[in-house]
Structure 1
Amino acid sequence: MFEPSETMMESRQEVMVSPVGDSQPTVRIAHFLKPSVPFNDPLISEVPSSYLPSPSVFDLKKWLLSVKLIGWPGTPRKWIHWVDSMHSTYQSLWKKVGIYDAIMGTKCHFLKDEDLIFGIAERWCSETNTFLFPWAEATITLEDIMILGGYPVLGDSVHKPLETQGLKTIEEKLILARQETRRTAARKASLHHWMTIFMNSGREIEHEAFLVAWLSIFVFPGKSFLVNTIVFPIAIHLARGTAIALAPAVLASIYRDLSLLKQTMVALTRNVADASVEEHLQLELRSLFYLVQIWVWERFVVLQPKPKLINHGNPVIGRWDRVKALKIGDVRSVIDSAMDDFVWRPYAIFASKHRLFYAENSMWVPLDHPLDNEIMSFIIWMRISELVGLDCIERYLPHRVSMQFGIDQDIPGSVTLINEAPEIAWNYYVRPITDSKVYIPSRFFEPDVTTRYVEWWKECVQGHQDPVKNLVQRKRSPRTWKKRNNDANTQPGFPPKYRKSSSFGSSSGFLLERSESNQIGVFSSPFATGKTDVSVANGADISAEKKNLIEDGGPKCDMKTKEMSSFAFATDHGTIGQVDSQMKPLVEIETETSIAGLQEAVEKENGNQGSQQSSLAYYRVNLSWIEEDNSDAFDMFVVDLESRISKVERMLAELKQ
């Protein structure tokens, strides 16, 4: 079991293979995110039960479900003018607190593709907060939220209170201003009226009011385009130059809503056999779901429309401003067969903007000195943590998707997280660094997987009605990118609610929309379990599982504003010697030498150097080759290969002596 005090990375000699099986196995020093399943651990990880796909492709119209994406706002023309008018005065401050790209990105407009959103949501697993594809796991990470969305991963908690009287006085002024916006016929604190009052007003708190509008519309959107009082402290801190870690809060809400959408889809699909069901539900999702769609576009080449060229320094997300989606007949089948077309590191082309994240050469960076923000951000992306949102806490497990950071993948180990309260989860997010150094891969490097990962994933997928057999093999790009001269400068929350239209009732504040004549309803109570309990009102239990809070990652607390620890890192110097010993490989073997030696040993053992079976190319691991009727042959191959590798390692050890 992984403990918080353990180091984040490890390096060891392993037999590695391409994740798509288009290369020969190589014995090399590989780098992994911890924890991996120990070699002597009989309890090998399993793909969670929610991997099981829905019985059929989800049809939104067939199941009478309306999904309202509140977190996909339009961009009012008045807002764009306000951004432009504030830019010259406050751009340096926005850059200091890490929100410049996020604010400038609000001038973009993103066209919605609901088929793509539902297609990707079918593959979501709320137990791991990852997408489970037939060929691997992947997910939206803090890297995506920071690089694509422009939200900072560093700073204080979104629950940081206002501690001085001066800051509290500013909050009182904002509260009075909000009351002023309610003096209309609608008697609502409309953001349109808020912008009218403050835009170019020259008032003392105009910048704070601007940030309140930004947070209420584009970061933590509420219902009906209203001013959200819960963001007042965040806006005040940002206006005073105090960085707030918005990225974990944004990502936590996305994880929560993906789980809610997936569970609702599964619940409706399982009950379609009931002919009396004529329920029409409206599901409101308040997270920034446009980031989910753009995440898919950045990574799935076959689903990607042509992006726009952007000027140097402009937000990355501007590539997708007003870009129309492709017309895809069956999104699900395209996603399931996209093994060769998935881009693990799409942002590596922006090396000129993020030189350290996407360096030309791999490097080890020592952590025994004060770290700059880039190194800190990179570490936060890649280490297990808990994401503290305004009203939810979610698990963050990057070790399951390490190839998204250019790191090799092994079987991911299990993790126990304790997140009973926001302050505990936040302290875990900002815990001290215990590694003495961190490995940053080259942007040209394509990571591999261990051979045991290939076997494990194949067994997991086949155990859940293996969809891999339907994959279509396509030609893959070379394993190593060829560096070109112009590569570096390539430009290419609130709790979700069901609206209630009858007196059916509510649960923990989460409501249901249903017609008077029908008996089925869907409830949601993230406060109770951190996930969604989907039930049938007439007594048929759709999903009655109650997860242990520690394992499930759900908060059991009221989300009152409490003081959080400020963001800080400290290196544990007492572990340097131990970590260094972990990082040193047993035997340094160049890739070419290891392959040649392994090939020679195979041929020598077979006694037939001309035989096809003696070639490693014959034994290559190809995920598209793994089908149900080939499982025995694959198992024999793995055992045989491991035996040969052991013999080669013994031979190398003898030669070294």
Structure 2
Amino acid sequence: MQEWDIQSCHPDTAGLQRIIQRSGLNTLIDCSYRKANKEVISAFVERWQPETNTFHLPFGEMSISLEDVSFLLKIPVTGKVVAVENFARYTDESRSDAIKMVSNLLGVSVEEAEEEVNISKGLTVRKCWLKSRWCPKAGSRPINYPHVECTARAYLLYILSCTLFADKSGSRVSIALLKLLEDLDDVGKYAWGAAALAYLYRHLGSATRVQVSQIAGYLTLLEGWVYDHFKLGLATPNAKYMDYVQPRVCIWIQKHETVANVDKLGSIRRTFDRLRPSEVTWDPYVNNRENGVVHAMAFYSGTIKYMDVVEPYHPERILRQFGHVQSIPDHPYRPLEAHRGPSANKYSVKYGFQRKTIGSAGGTICWLLKFVATRQNLSFLLH
């Protein structure tokens, strides 16, 4: 987010920085790769199976896990579900609520909020509006600055739209996210990592369709996962990386070669067609875990959610990534409805979801560990 300098967008810089730090999302500010490696992403989209949410490789399945998200991005993967009611569909009521929310939480007039919602043509606001309104150019500073909390919400909303929940437009952000930023003391209590993974899973599935040529989601997360697990010269180590301080995605520097795109994609395809298990770094975090133990959250088996997007999460299919022998997994979770047509607007999948938290609250994780262990005879998960 280098184009938005929080050092100069509000006189209470210290207060603004404290709020951002407390949100648990501050690590996202400087960890994004500048430009997506389209060939690497395309090669892995081709291997994605949306029914299991795993990549199919010559020697079995692999996937991005909640533990991967935790290490790669250093954001919370447990906590309250990232979802807001009554914002899934555009109605007169939801539009009215959105205008009031923008006005109240960002500190603008109802008229300005309504104008922005009308321009965006949906329950969204433009990223350029956020940036120009709350981080104006040096020569156009407002006489009366908005409250520091309003500036913090605008900045966090901008961060989320550029990273975890980037859409294909690249220019808008859902107002529903603003609702989750209402109480700034609560922002760090949400399972942002689980939500980002659900969102990426859904768009990986959509990208597998023959008529789809774009993908949404946080592609830095996908690329960082690839570079961490496959040491095939796709990226170079960052000599300035600070372990235990920076998110793990910062350990890699992208390579952007001059080889023609088609040739590069073909080369990556052939490399992965010939890939052997011994060439995979199955557990890149083995030396970074506290006490060397995989966190119980990694073995959560169920569904994860972002707004109205619900996706299955199957750690029992990728046990080698946690240092264990892979057994034959059970059938994947069945969706309530599934229509996986050839285009994005004909791709619709619905899974059940009932929890309000992702994690150990209320014994949820304990029950799920027992459930997975019973299905897979994985008694080691319970010790």
Settle same-fold status: TM greater than 0.5: yes
CA displacement at 1:334 relative to structure 2: 0.6
Q: CA RMSD in A?
A: 4.3
> Is the alpha carbon distance of 1:141 and 1:320 closer, same or farther for their aligned partners in structure 2, counting shifts above 3 Å?
same
Task: Verify the 8 A CA contact 1:97 1:244 in the aligned structure 2.
Answer: no
- In the alignment, which residue of structure 1 is the partner of 2:305? 388
Does the alignment pair 1:251 with 2:197? yes
Of residues 288, 306, 323, the one that matches 1:406 is 323
Of residues 113, 117, 130, the one that matches 1:194 is 130
Aligned-partner Cα distance in 2 for 1:86–1:382: 42
Aligned-partner Cα distance in 2 for 1:178–1:143: 42
Aligned-partner Cα distance in 2 for 1:119–1:136: 16
- In the alignment, which residue of structure 1 is the partner of 2:267? 330
CA displacement at 1:192 relative to structure 2: 2.2
Does the alignment pair 1:203 with 2:139? no
Q: Deviations over 1:143-178 (max 9, x none)?
A: 22221133321121111569xxxxx98654247468
- In the alignment, which residue of structure 2 is the partner of 1:344? 282
Task: Verify the 8 A CA contact 1:182 1:190 in the aligned structure 2.
Answer: no
Opposite residue 391 of structure 1, the aligned amino acid is D
- Larger Rg: 1 or 2? 1
Q: Which stretches in structure 2 are left out of the alignment for 5+ residues?
A: 87-98, 137-141
CA displacement at 1:183 relative to structure 2: 5.9
Aligned-partner Cα distance in 1 for 2:301–2:308: 20
Name the SS for the 2:318 alignment partner.
Answer: helix
Name the SS for the 1:386 alignment partner.
Answer: strand
The 5-angstrom pairing of residues 241-390 of structure 1 reads: 241=187, 243-264=189-210, 283-309=213-239, 310-312=241-243, 313-321=245-253, 323-324=255-256, 328=264, 330-339=267-276, 340-349=278-287, 351=288, 354-356=289-291, 359=292, 378-390=295-307
The 5-angstrom pairing of residues 558-577 of structure 1 reads: 565-566=356-357, 569-571=361-363
Opposite residue 293 of structure 1, the aligned amino acid is E
Aligned-partner Cα distance in 2 for 1:399–1:178: 50
CA displacement at 1:396 relative to structure 2: 0.6
Opposite residue 89 of structure 1, the aligned amino acid is G
Of residues 194, 197, 214, the one that matches 2:159 is 214
CA displacement at 1:221 relative to structure 2: 2.4
Q: Deviations over 1:291-338 (max 9, x none)?
A: 222221111111432121212412222223555469645111211222
CA displacement at 1:246 relative to structure 2: 1.4
Name the SS for the 1:388 alignment partner.
Answer: strand
Aligned-partner Cα distance in 2 for 1:86–1:419: 49
Name the SS for the 2:35 alignment partner.
Answer: coil
- In the alignment, which residue of structure 2 is the partner of 1:234? 180
Name the SS for the 1:283 alignment partner.
Answer: coil
The 5-angstrom pairing of residues 427-446 of structure 1 reads: none
Name the SS for the 1:285 alignment partner.
Answer: coil
Task: Verify the 8 A CA contact 2:161 2:172 in the aligned structure 1.
Answer: yes
Aligned-partner Cα distance in 1 for 2:20–2:187: 8
Opposite residue 180 of structure 1, the aligned amino acid is E
The 5-angstrom pairing of residues 42-53 of structure 1 reads: none
Q: Which stretches in structure 1 are left out of the alignment for 5+ residues?
A: 1-74, 163-167, 265-280, 363-374, 421-506, 511-520, 531-553, 558-562, 586-657
> Is the alpha carbon distance of 1:344 and 1:291 closer, same or farther for their aligned partners in structure 2, counting shifts above 3 Å?
same
- In the alignment, which residue of structure 2 is the partner of 1:129? 53
Name the SS for the 2:312 alignment partner.
Answer: strand
Task: Verify the 8 A CA contact 2:22 2:185 in the aligned structure 1.
Answer: no
Q: When the two structures are aligned, how many residues end up with a matched partner? A: 339
